[in-house]
Amino acid sequence: MSDRINSKTVEGLFAFCDFMVEKGYATTAAMDPWKTAARKVFAAVHGDEFESETLDGIDLDDVLNRFETLTRGQYKHESVVTYGRRVRNAID
């Protein structure tokens, strides 16, 4: 699992969230919203192969702006802001 976490990819981010739950550092209720937000954002911007996208040196502002543009009309503005905050928290 540590190889996946250290990969600095979206898949590694998901593995980190799972690790946090498995080791008792966070609850599923805390980690699932982060994973859902990351899945929605990165899938919209990078397509079906989003899990292999690297997070190393990512311009998250650009990704979130692209997400907002690509999904305009699908989500309320408040939801887009919430997804952005959750993705930032997960990556941090």
> pLDDT tens across 26-72, in order?
999 999 999 999 999 999 999 999 999 999 999 999 999 999 999 99
Task: Check whether 2 has a pLDDT greater than 90.
Answer: no
Dihedral angle, C-alpha 42, 90, 29, 36, nearest 10 °:
0
Dihedral angle, C-alpha 71, 65, 10, 58, nearest 10 °:
160
pTM: 0.91
Task: Check whether 1 has a pLDDT greater than 80.
Answer: no
Would you state the pLDDT for residue 50?
95
Token representation of residue 48: 């079906």
The pLDDT of 20-27, averaged and rounded, is: 97
Count other Cβ atoms within 10 Å, centred on residue 45.
Answer: 18
State how far the Cα of 47 lies from the Cα of 81, in Å rounded to an integer: 20
